[in-house]
Amino acid sequence: MAEPLFELKKMLRENFPASTREDAQRLMLAICLMAYSDGELQDEEKALVAALGRGLPELKALGTAEVAKLIVEAAVVLKPFHNRLAAVHAFKGNKSERLRQKCFLIALETALVTGRLSEMEIQVLEKLFVMLELTGAFAERVASGLVLKYR
């Protein structure tokens, strides 16, 4: 059996495929899905969304204007849905497991960073989990790490 630190070092050194603009759009959509509680982003929510986005490797290299454009694009995608629970359908068709996992992770982190999880946020996360076809083991690992970080 390999030592846990060896596995961590191996995982951190893995080369991941280059990100695309579509990856950046999907991740921003995951952030906005959780931040868009009332269907509109207030100024402080926009600042939070932009800050979370800039923390992602897929968005780090983008300038402020490009991140703002991604936020607007996410708002356009989410607007036709009558609520956030229905908006989860915007995630249908994500093919890359890594991107599906990262969308869930960033959605959960967005929900946690904004404070206590509401019942609606929990429902959205549960539906997103199912839509992204993730495993329970993955969700537990992510949730335990993020809860430790934010609680």
- Sequential DSSP letters for 85-139: HHHGGGGTT---HHHHHHHHHHHHHHHHHTSSPPHHHHHHHHHHHHHTT--HHHH
pLDDT of residue 92: 86
Q: What integer is the mean pLDDT of 13-17?
A: 62
pLDDT at 1 over 60: no
Contact between residue 75 and residue 36 where contact means Cβ atoms under 8 Å apart: yes
Q: Give the whole-number percent of the chain exceeding pLDDT 70.
A: 85
pLDDT of residue 118: 86
pLDDT of residue 19: 77
pLDDT of residue 150: 83
Any idea what DSSP says for residue 42? Answer: -
Model confidence at 41, pLDDT cuts 50, 70, 90, reads confident
End-to-end Cα, the chain, rounded Å: 32
pLDDT of residue 55: 87
Higher pLDDT, 143 or 15: 143
For 94-124, how does the pLDDT look when each residue is reduced to its tens digit (9 = 90+)? 778 999 999 999 999 999 987 778 898 899 9
